[in-house]
Amino acid sequence: MLEKLFGNPVIEKILFFLLVNETSYASELRDRLDVSLYSVQMALGRLEKGGIIICHPQGKTQVYQYNPRYPFLEEFKVFLRKAYSALPESLRRRVYEPPIRKRPRRKGKPL
């Protein structure tokens, strides 16, 4: 939908994924978006260079999120939310809103 604007379909997917899930890392994006790790890393690098996202190391993983200091963040997210709402619901649920447990679980707790 916005790939012509961003010049890259992976960028659009990453931006939508972070919009919905707030944080992510390269291998998760590869798996969820079904694109190559190389494409994800290139796109993340481009977005980071542009100041749109930032990454924080968590252990050995680089976790990405929107840069809260990006001056157009508020307006950009409004724009993205509108575009995201135009996606078919089935696609949103399958790719961007998977039913993955995100709430904490005590270590060692039986299922």
Partner 1 sequence: MINWATISLEDLAGYLSKELKKRGIDLILVGGACVTIYSRNQYQSYDLDFIVYEDMKEVKKALKELGFIEKGGYFQRLDCKWFVEFVSSPAAVGREIISEFEEIKVKTGVITMLRPEDSVKDRLASFFHWNDRQGLNQAIEICAEQNIDIKEIETWSISEGFEEKLTEFLGRLQKA
Of 17 and 66, CB closest to partner 1: 66
Of 49 and 109, CB closest to partner 1: 49
Q: How far is CA 22 from CA 14, 15, 18, 106, in A?
A: 11, 10, 5, 22
Contacts with partner 1 by CB under 8 A lie at 49-51, 68-69, 71, 73-74
Of 7 and 98, CB closest to partner 1: 7
Instruction: Give the pairing type, strands 53-58 and 61-66.
Output: antiparallel
Rounded to a whole number of angstroms, the minimum distance from the CB of residue 72 to partner 1 is 8
CA angle centred on 96, ends 60 and 78, rounded to 5°: 100
Rounded to a whole number of angstroms, the minimum distance from the CB of residue 69 to partner 1 is 5
